[in-house]
Chains A and B, each alone.
Chain A
Amino acid sequence: MNTVYIVTMVLLGAAFLMTTARLVRGPSSFDRIMSLDVMAVLLVSGIAVHSAFYGEPAYAPLLLVVAMLGFVGSVSAARLAGSRGERT
């Protein structure tokens, strides 16, 4: 089971790094918003996996909060970037 944990976490970590690269590289603000949204989802996945192996049931509400924050944040940021008529 330990191997499963390591493999999963390495894959998620790689995904997080690649998303960070996209966040840094941009080029448009929409790319950055997208990256942040993906990071929130990856964070939820990571916490869920961790809680499965280390048995922390209190993490469940945390998952919901992170997911909710990611969603509200990206949608409002996208609306803001769109309304400013961003062209990059």
Chain B
Amino acid sequence: MNRNARRAASRVLMGVWLLGIWLLLWGRIDALTVAGGAVVVAGAYAASRLPAVPLVRRIRPLRVAAVIAEFAWDLLVSSVVIGWHALYRPRQVRSGIIDVDMRSRSELILLGVTTSISLRPGTILIDLDPDRTVLRIHAMPVRSRAEADSRRAGVATTEERLMRAFVTWEDAPPEEDDR
């Protein structure tokens, strides 16, 4: 697949996605809403010149499901942890500012990791270095350096899971790249 074909494919995918949201918004599917949605999506494309989404090289559906399941579980567990700290001695809770090195060079993986960090209780992204290779996060609760290290390892695991689910062009081995 050459570059133009990939770009066109990602445009079509994005269009279908936007159309899906449009249909959800109306809450019904009939000829009129589909046709109207197609017009609106085409118009939105023309007006905003939406950039072509960088296509991933390969998606592994089972791994994506695993990512989502593990994320949902993390979300629940860490919510309970934060909730417990809110009830029991909240004044004594301690946190840490931790730098995490990114392995991936892909913007998509970066987006996935930062979203996952900021969505789960206990970690927020607060800064990003100019080269976008180091994430600075605020984590809570962090009582010791060992806990800070385990938080760092947790982010690295998230990145690793995402990289296994989405094989991106940036991270693919160069010999397989046919750009």
Contacts and interface: CB of A to CB of B under 8 A. Distances in A.
- Direct contact between A and B in the complex (CB less than 8 angstroms)? yes
Interface of A: 60-61, 64
B27 interface: yes
A18 B25 CA distance: 33
Interface string B27-60: 1000000000000000000000000000000000
B127 to A, nearest CB: 12
Nearest to B86: A18
Contacts of B25: 61, 64
A31 B44 CA distance: 36
Interface of B: 25, 27
A61 B25 CA distance: 8
Contacts of A64: 25
Contacts of A61: 25
A55 to B, nearest CB: 15
A64 B25 CA distance: 9
A81 B158 CA distance: 31
A2 B27 CA distance: 28
3 contacts: A60-B27, A61-B25, A64-B25
B65 to A, nearest CB: 27
B114 to A, nearest CB: 15
Nearest to A60: B27
Nearest to B27: A60
B113 to A, nearest CB: 20
Pick the 3 closest A-B CB pairs, nearest first. Answer: A60-B27, A64-B25, A61-B25
Contacts of B27: 60
B129 to A, nearest CB: 18
B20 to A, nearest CB: 15
A54 B117 CA distance: 37
B143 to A, nearest CB: 24
Nearest to B26: A61
A2 B25 CA distance: 30
A64 B1 CA distance: 39
A5 B158 CA distance: 38
